[in-house]
Amino acid sequence: MSARPRFREQFLQAREDAIVASVNRLLAEKGFEAMTVDEVVADVGIAKASLYKHFTSKEELAAAAMVRVLDRTLEELARLRSLDLDALGRLKAVARWAYEQQIAGEMPALPSQNSTLRATLVADKAYMDRLMQLSDELGAWIVQAQGQGHLDPALPPELVLYTLFARACDPVLGVMRASGAHSDAQIVDWLVTSCFRGLGA
């Protein structure tokens, strides 16, 4: 008798994974404001009532997608810790990874000014726990890189942190790619270089 509930749990988890994967892709393609719940259910091939068994709002869908992104980001940080890189090398690698995720259509685009979405994210414990863990680890690398003279110590570490977060949704990448004049690798190299060295000669 215990096999049946386990199968149902697996089915529900698989459906939830499909929903979140669809949301992640649609947020990357369209952004939060343009994405609709109807598009999600059509993409997954389920009824709207089935979606609402998992998520009660568009904001909850976005929060679930962000939790998955943060999980992947924390996995990438763990991988970078295993490599022979200094703090600056790790920070550059994180920025490069964020650009590559954007190219792959795996980075959700969320508005910075949306009070309902912000309230949902702040109230989501899974999201906030992961965000704090990510911020703490990147913050430690930033302070270390500043102490080693690789980053300007006059800059507040949180400014550097927010600059790194902004790499995940940098519009310059899309504009440069749309021109078709340069390879993805070249564009990413330029963006990482300009992020850490500025625009000076």
- 54 CB burial (10 A radius; 0-12, 13-18, 19+): middle
Domain boundaries along the sequence of the chain: 3-197
Q: Which fold has domain 3-197?
A: Tetracycline Repressor; domain 2 (1.10.357)
Give residue-wise pLDDT tens across range 26-55. 998 888 889 999 999 999 999 999 999 899
Q: What pTM value is reported for the model?
A: 0.86
Give residue-wise pLDDT tens across range 50-103. 999 899 999 999 999 999 999 999 999 999 999 999 999 999 999 999 999 999
Cα–Cα distances (Å) from 141 to 54, 80, 93, 152, in that order, read: 37, 11, 12, 13
**What is the per-residue pLDDT for 3?**
56
**What is the per-residue pLDDT for 6?**
85
- 78 CB burial (10 A radius; 0-12, 13-18, 19+): exposed
Neighbours of 134 (CB within 10 A): 19
